[in-house]
Structure 1
Amino acid sequence: MSYKSLWQGRTDTEDGVRGQRWHQVVNVEPAESKCGTVALIGYPVDQGVSLNKGRPGAGGGPNTLRQSLSSLPWVIEGSLSDHGDISPLPTLPQTQQLYADRVTGLLANNKCVLGLGGGHDIARGSFHGLQQFASEQARIGIINFDAHLDLRKPAPVSSSGTPFRDISEWCSANGRAFNYCCMGVSVAANTPALFDYARLTDTYWLEDVDFDLAKATSVLSAFLNRIDTLYVTVCMDAFPASAAPGVSAPAAVGIDTAAVLNVIRWLGRYCHQHNITWPLADIAELNPTFDKENKTTRLAARVGFELTRAMTK
């Protein structure tokens, strides 16, 4: 099914423009060079998940997410464009670079870009897309909502478990600071070697059992002092399996959904108040194959709704 046909849902014509929903405002045949507000791009890839020995199926995430976003109210002053999906290439690094190049092009002509994953290997492509767009002086920071640090060493190739290790090594080789913060980390889902590497790279993190709005904003306030450009990635396995069963690796504990949404709102306000540019976010590991009653898909759509609102403040 074409991604274009997925944008449909209820309409409230009696409410006029103020009653419009995403499917009514989205441009599904946008010119890449046309300036806009919010641009969507899909990463229908779960090769990295398979390489990481996870449950395949995240490749269906982008279209499922489009369907769930369709009927949400459009509350942003500006335009929405959907630029479809990239076509996976033979190797994961090639696919990630293709995605990075698309992100770079979209950032040049839109206020913000929301990536629809796909495995969490989307993060490597997202980072490089932003890095290619930003100035060399930009201090890019990554905030990852995730049960996993995803700092595994490629063995021997990259996967959905290695993106932030890949980024860290690129930063080291290119004289850039690696600014990484992981929110909702499970000590039961990460080996001591991963925490050792996190300490070595001065990574910030907050455990799942400690996650609430007050503690999260305390950690993030310190982290944000180090950066001027932000990229946020939300792995759906950060949430409890009861709320998000349709993921590659369900969480036994997870972090509170309302708290995450409030943190995203806080990030939007903080970035606006402190002149931090926030042009890029993505949603990863939505796996419709294992979803139940569309729980994960609906939650992912709400996350996307909040991310776009926060980035366009």
Structure 2
Amino acid sequence: MVNVPMAQASELWTAADMALWQGRSDAGERGDTRRLFNIAAALNPFDETPLPAAARALLGFACDAGVQRNQGRTGAAQGPQAIRRMLAGLPVHDHEALYDAGDVSCQGDALEAAQHALARTVQAVLARGGFPVVLGGGHEIAWGTWQGLRGHLDASGDPGSVLVLNLDAHFDLRTARPGSSGTPFDQIATACQARGQTFHYACLGVSRLGNTAALFARADELQACWIEDIDMQERHMEKVLEQVQQVIDGVDHVYLTIDLDVLPAAVMPAVSAPAAYGVPMGVVEAIVDRVRRSGKLRVADLAEFNPRFDQDSHGARAAARLVYRLLQA
């Protein structure tokens, strides 16, 4: 679990670059013309002052090491800043406050240190009463985010069950070590087993062409719940949402993690492994809304956005839209 001292974790953290938060001003128009850049404020996650109730806090995980270890296309380390730039110009609407908690960065191949630092930082935001939305980086982000949530629950004396709800074309249950962007949920499963806790894992949007038979067998072994992408189209919406509700009802807390490669390549070209089929944005967004409204969502993250492979900002816009939904009260 989390074994990096807080002081060491803060060494891998950099404060928010508020210069990213800028955009168009419509101050001459009538009514509320604010955009997110107008309400964004820098947050030091290691300051112990309590945050306002349900405060939303963005936290970046600038990391390519996990994708590189998994033989993928690097560049996701620049994802957090690109998503912030796209978010900045979106209208406020019902967002009351928005905090930018800066970035945890991976130095070279020091992935494990970065993941532990991320865990400490997520735990610090949760301890202050905030709701962290973590921006990756590759899907190795999940091992850090989950450790942060579990560490917070442990520190609070809360033994409650945690559902890992993964929207993803891939199981990411590889058993090889060291860890990579392909191993985080197997690492979580192993940690749960060591703690004597049930591993609650649901992977929605799985591509049969993106996972070997061995990965399906590992999912079976772990009694994971999954739905393939071919069964998550618009016509399946009602049934999918019923299944999502069932898995939510069986746990105390939910950690939602979205690998953007779950979306079709035409919507999300900017990932390491674009999807030839994918799950429509409308279905993904409906799941996000259902989870957000459940009252059990404690932390969320977005993984794999890679600006190097974006096309006319299509990917950045899609990523920002999903983050925007997560930030709503």
Superposed CA offset, 1:24-52 (max 9, x none): 00112556334141111100001000000
Superposed CA offset, 1:163-205 (max 9, x none): 0000000100111111111110000001111111111111111
TM-score, normalised to structure 1, is 0.92
Pairing of 1:83-98 with structure 2 (within 5 A): 83-89=101-107, 91-98=110-117
Matched residue type, 2:87:
L
> In the superposition, relative to structure 1, how do residues 14 and 229 fare at CA in structure 2: closer, same or farther (>3 Å)?
farther
Task: Report the RMSD for the aligned CA atoms in angstroms.
Answer: 1.6
Matched, 1:235 2:246: no
1:45 is matched with which residue? 63
Determine the C-alpha separation between the residues in 2 that align with 1:8 and 1:110: 27
Pairing of 1:78-117 with structure 2 (within 5 A): 78-89=96-107, 91-117=110-136
Determine the C-alpha separation between the residues in 2 that align with 1:47 and 1:185: 23
Matched residue type, 2:277:
V
Matched residue type, 1:95:
A
Task: Decide which moves more: 102-111 or 81-90.
Answer: 81-90
**SS state of the match for residue 245, structure 1?**
coil
Match of 1:216 among 215, 223, 240: 240
**SS state of the match for residue 107, structure 1?**
helix
Pairing of 1:186-205 with structure 2 (within 5 A): 186-205=207-226
**SS state of the match for residue 188, structure 1?**
helix
> In the superposition, relative to structure 1, how do residues 16 and 133 fare at CA in structure 2: closer, same or farther (>3 Å)?
farther
Answer whether contact 2:244 2:287 (CA < 8 A) is retained: no
Determine the C-alpha separation between the residues in 2 that align with 1:18 and 1:79: 15
2:188 is matched with which residue? 167
Task: Decide which moves more: 140-149 or 72-81.
Answer: 72-81
Answer whether contact 1:206 1:219 (CA < 8 A) is retained: no
2:171 is matched with which residue? 149
Structure 1 unaligned runs (5+)? none
Percentage of identical aligned residues = 36
Determine the C-alpha separation between the residues in 2 that align with 1:61 and 1:204: 29
Determine the C-alpha separation between the residues in 1 that align with 2:283 and 2:219: 24
Answer whether contact 2:260 2:305 (CA < 8 A) is retained: yes
2:6 is matched with which residue? none
Answer whether contact 1:7 1:23 (CA < 8 A) is retained: yes
Answer whether contact 2:39 2:97 (CA < 8 A) is retained: yes
> In the superposition, relative to structure 1, how do residues 235 and 16 fare at CA in structure 2: closer, same or farther (>3 Å)?
farther
Structure 2 unaligned runs (5+)? 1-15
Matched residue type, 1:223:
V
1:24 is matched with which residue? 38
Matched residue type, 1:209:
I
Answer whether contact 1:204 1:219 (CA < 8 A) is retained: no
Alpha-carbon distance, 1:77 to partner: 5.0
Superposed CA offset, 1:1-34 (max 9, x none): x732110011232467833211000112556334
Matched residue type, 1:47:
A
2:73 is matched with which residue? 55
Determine the C-alpha separation between the residues in 2 that align with 1:215 and 1:296: 28
Determine the C-alpha separation between the residues in 2 that align with 1:168 and 1:80: 33
Task: Decide which moves more: 279-288 or 20-29.
Answer: 20-29
Determine the C-alpha separation between the residues in 1 that align with 2:30 and 2:116: 42
Determine the C-alpha separation between the residues in 2 that align with 1:97 and 1:80: 25
Superposed CA offset, 1:214-244 (max 9, x none): 1321221221122111110111100111111
Match of 2:84 among 59, 66, 71: 66
